[in-house]
A and B are shown apart, each in its own frame.
Chain A
Amino acid sequence: MRSLDELLHRAEDLYRDLRFSAVREWKARTGGLAVGYLPVYVPRELLHAQGVLPVGVMGAGDDLEIIRGDAFYQSYICHLPRSTIELGLNGALDCLDGMLFPATCDVIRNLSGMWMMQFPGKYVHYLDVPQDFSPEVGGAFYRHELEQISEALTARGARPLTTAALRASIALYNDNRALVEGLYTLRMAEPWRVPTGELYLLLRAGAVLPVEEHSAMLRDYTALVTATTERRPMDQARVLLCGSFCEQPPLGLIKTLERAGCYIVDDDFVQVHRWIRGHVRSNGDDPLQDLVLAYLHQGIQSPIRYIDEAKKGQDLVDRVETSGAEGVIFCAPSFCDPALLDQPMAVAAIERAGVPWTAFKYSENTGQFQVIREQAGTFADSIKLWSE
């Protein structure tokens, strides 16, 4: 087994590698297709079952100077699509045979059309996920969406979808989700063992590694941090970080929050790993339908998902309780419609529950953290000093 340092270096190298070398190596090794996806959720199991590597394109963080990407967007549009376009234009995404744009917001939606025009030879699909959650209506529509993707991948050289392969892929991703969830649970119980800066790097590694390799990495990390005796608890405030589900914060921001006295005990990072709660049925006669049903009935209550029956904000209150968070930090990207439009409802719910909160915004390339550090530090202090 690798040492913890080696493992984390590998994860950080993957995170910083804006040429997607791991994907290129995988393609050279296997000859398979690689298809990118934007946040927040795509059914990776389907791609995997056809021998396609799903690749999360999560922006370029603070490591890439945006030159041409800015020429595509006005000042009042978030940063993620700028860096995505930049990565496309500088050749970093040449290794991808296609891109999936899930229904997240109007910016990502329109980016799908821009991609069609800018990269005409590539497979591009806007994945319209249902907002009706009955199997016979929204489920039928979603199933057709998945079938369309599957057929398009086959037409481009991927293996045809088989029941056995999809069952196997579902099982692999179930295992992967359980490992991620296990780390979240461990962090809730003993946050000093699982610093969020590390957990985040592991989540990001899962965006580019084959699921089998990623699961091995998660397994190793879990064993190493469980066994270590070097990490000890500190007197930090337990906070839940809310709103960072699409454009990701820079790693420096996450570390800043931890250094400012916060234990992040729950968050929204790289949500594709946690979108489906629990296992997807992996032994049914119709695994594609099982994938559909999991989306309909096991999806998290994200701001991009219509909540038809549940009370808005209650899910956040429940997460606060489950995680033992003492406060909530609303940490949304600037100009993020889903997060920022949702925020007043979420704030109202946690205020009713008597949970302290604070809020700030970021961009993926935010480079100055002093103000955030002071704000988060004051918030953590206030929790420690004044909370009952």
Chain B
Amino acid sequence: MTDTAADQTRGRPAITKDASQERQKAMIASHFTRLARAPETGDKCAYTFVPGNLTELLNSFGVLPVLPEINALQSGMRGKSRDYIGLAEKLGHSEDVCTYVKCDIGMLKSGNIGPTGERLPSPDLLLLSYTGCFTFLKWFELLAQEYSCPIVMLHVPYQGDGVITDSMRRYVVDQLKKKVIPALERISGRAYDEDLLKEQLARSARAEDDLVWVLESAKHRPSPIDAYFGGVYYIGPIFTAFRGTQDAIEYYRELRAEIEERLRLHKGPVTPDGELGEERYRVVVEGPPNWTSFRQFWQMFSEEGACVVASTYTKVGGVYDNGFRHDPSRPLETLAEYCMGCYTNLNLPTRVQMIARYVQDYSADGFLINSVKSCNSFSAGQLMILREVEQRTGKPGGFIESDLVDPRYFSASNIKNRLESYFQMIAQKRAGAQ
């Protein structure tokens, strides 16, 4: 079910959608349809993760990616995650661990029905791209118990010292050459075609240019976009199955044209309740959104006139606004650098630096951390990030807690109270400064 249809069913006004958003939804729906038909068409599927995904490489072999985090967040948005998580916990999975994992296990045990209501194919390969999240390792070990397909591990080193060394790059490239590519050759029956990969990577870079332009448009006042709630739609194609495709180029071209037009008209972003009126607060957000009450969460911002001008979550599948682009002249090296550059693979000092830079570059009034219980990769250290960024920027930080897809951890009244207090504080500071 689409958001629009779901909203109408629930008696809420339909969300206004731009043409690019409709295109994006159609693209993603078509991907899920292709996945559902894979058993008949013979398309091969690899389960893998968003951070450090190797979409261009998979595409060059004609292998379709299935991304369990995307399935989990879709289940959260469709109101399915509570039951899936409950089922996984009944099966012995701890209440303490990542709810994406439990949602995925619950979905699998309930028939593996994807977001479009069709059954997802079983994997031909589990491509464990171990990037920026320890849980990924255990997640695919758990899935490996359920499927009889091969599993291949791509260990992506963490940027512990804040840099990518030659040794780190060589390590990833060697694994690509010796493990990942041979595994893809085996399941697809095709030989590695570097020229095809290069073509894909060149297309990626073009789409990335437009994505960065869109994200940086939020530096304008008013911002024509919401770079967090709206941003998750913008990153959809490039973080999932479409990086390296012509579809992605066209989507980002269309999106950019729409934003250019909004800029020309001095319009703010589109929110669940239509266009944002006066832009009263500009904030940067760290951490993933809550998916089970996504619309309600967004409204807590938009009703206050708050626009998110930059976010870290939209960098989880790749950081492009630091200048990185996929480089077709160095195909495997560029994939390695992409993997190592994803947001949760950056050390804490780099993350602090990045958020502080966003606060300054985007003229934000402050920054907010949505700390999610499920994700230690994001959350461990966020209280220190809060203090450090406040100290460096002089801007107030706010802290709220929720979860990715476990509705038991979304306390709407608590979050709303905190947000209202936070925005009031910004208003008072502003009044005091005047």
CB of A119 within 8 Å of the partner chain: no
CB distance from A288 to the nearest CB of B (A): 14
CB of B33 within 8 Å of the partner chain: no
User: A312 near B158 (CB under 8 angstroms)?
Assistant: no
Complex CA–CA separation, A130 to B321 (angstroms): 29
**Contacting residues, chain B, for A237 (C-beta < 8 A):** none
1/0 per residue B375-411: CB within 8 Å of A?
Answer: 0110111111000100000000000010000000000
CB distance from A316 to the nearest CB of B (A): 14
**Contacting residues, chain B, for A336 (C-beta < 8 A):** 96
Complex CA–CA separation, A81 to B94 (angstroms): 21
Complex CA–CA separation, A282 to B347 (angstroms): 36
Q: Give the residue of A77, A106, A134, A141 whose beta carbon is less than 8 angstroms from that of B135.
A: A106
User: A312 near B384 (CB under 8 angstroms)?
Assistant: no
CB of A162 within 8 Å of the partner chain: no
User: B174 near A137 (CB under 8 angstroms)?
Assistant: yes
CB distance from B317 to the nearest CB of A (A): 17
User: B348 near A114 (CB under 8 angstroms)?
Assistant: yes
User: A338 near B349 (CB under 8 angstroms)?
Assistant: no
Write the residues of chain A forming the contact surface with B, with a CB cutoff of 8 angstroms.
71-74, 76-77, 81, 101, 103, 105-107, 109-114, 116-118, 125-126, 128, 130-132, 134, 136-138, 140-141, 144-145, 303-304, 306-308, 312, 334-338, 340-345, 347-348, 361
Complex CA–CA separation, A341 to B145 (angstroms): 13
Known: A126-B347, A137-B175. A347 touches B92 (CB 8 A): yes
Complex CA–CA separation, A131 to B155 (angstroms): 6
User: A345 near B141 (CB under 8 angstroms)?
Assistant: yes
**Contacting residues, chain B, for A71 (C-beta < 8 A):** 383
CB of B330 within 8 Å of the partner chain: no
**Contacting residues, chain B, for A72 (C-beta < 8 A):** 381, 383-384
Complex CA–CA separation, A125 to B141 (angstroms): 28
**Contacting residues, chain A, for B351 (C-beta < 8 A):** 113
Going nearest first, the 10 A-B pairs with the smallest beta carbon separation are: A113-B348, A126-B160, A341-B138, A131-B155, A141-B171, A144-B167, A340-B94, A110-B381, A106-B376, A113-B347
**Contacting residues, chain A, for B349 (C-beta < 8 A):** 113, 116-117
Known: A106-B376, A112-B347, A303-B138. A73 touches B383 (CB 8 A): yes
Which partner residue on chain B sits nearest A118 by CB separation? B384
- Number of residue pairs across A and B with beta carbons under 8 Å? 157
Which partner residue on chain A sits nearest B173 by CB separation? A137
**Contacting residues, chain B, for A361 (C-beta < 8 A):** 96
Complex CA–CA separation, A336 to B94 (angstroms): 10
User: B130 near A77 (CB under 8 angstroms)?
Assistant: no
Complex CA–CA separation, A343 to B102 (angstroms): 13
Question: Could you list 4 further interchain pairs (A-B, Cβ under 8 angstroms) beyond the known A72-B384, A74-B371, A132-B179?
Answer: A112-B348, A114-B384, A304-B134, A347-B92
Known: A126-B347, A337-B135, A341-B97. A111 touches B380 (CB 8 A): yes
CB of B137 within 8 Å of the partner chain: yes
User: A103 near B376 (CB under 8 angstroms)?
Assistant: no
**Contacting residues, chain B, for A343 (C-beta < 8 A):** 92, 94
User: A140 near B171 (CB under 8 angstroms)?
Assistant: yes
CB distance from A337 to the nearest CB of B (A): 6
CB of B6 within 8 Å of the partner chain: no
CB distance from A146 to the nearest CB of B (A): 11
**Contacting residues, chain B, for A116 (C-beta < 8 A):** 347-349
User: A340 near B97 (CB under 8 angstroms)?
Assistant: yes
**Contacting residues, chain B, for A334 (C-beta < 8 A):** 96
Which partner residue on chain B sits nearest A85 by CB separation? B384
**Contacting residues, chain A, for B133 (C-beta < 8 A):** 106
User: B380 near A106 (CB under 8 angstroms)?
Assistant: yes
Q: Which of the listed residues A105, A141, A312, A335 has the most CB atoms from chain B within 10 Å of its own CB?
A: A141
The 18 sampled A-B contact pairs (Cβ below 8 Å) are A72-B381, A72-B384, A76-B373, A105-B134, A106-B134, A106-B377, A110-B348, A116-B347, A128-B158, A131-B155, A138-B171, A141-B170, A144-B165, A144-B167, A306-B137, A337-B97, A337-B135, A343-B94
Complex CA–CA separation, A131 to B93 (angstroms): 24
CB distance from A82 to the nearest CB of B (A): 11
Complex CA–CA separation, A116 to B348 (angstroms): 9
**Contacting residues, chain B, for A76 (C-beta < 8 A):** 96, 373, 379
1/0 per residue B156-182: CB within 8 Å of A?
Answer: 011011000101101100110011000
**Contacting residues, chain B, for A107 (C-beta < 8 A):** 376, 380
**Contacting residues, chain A, for B350 (C-beta < 8 A):** 113
User: B171 near A137 (CB under 8 angstroms)?
Assistant: yes
Known: A116-B348, A344-B93. A126 touches B158 (CB 8 A): yes
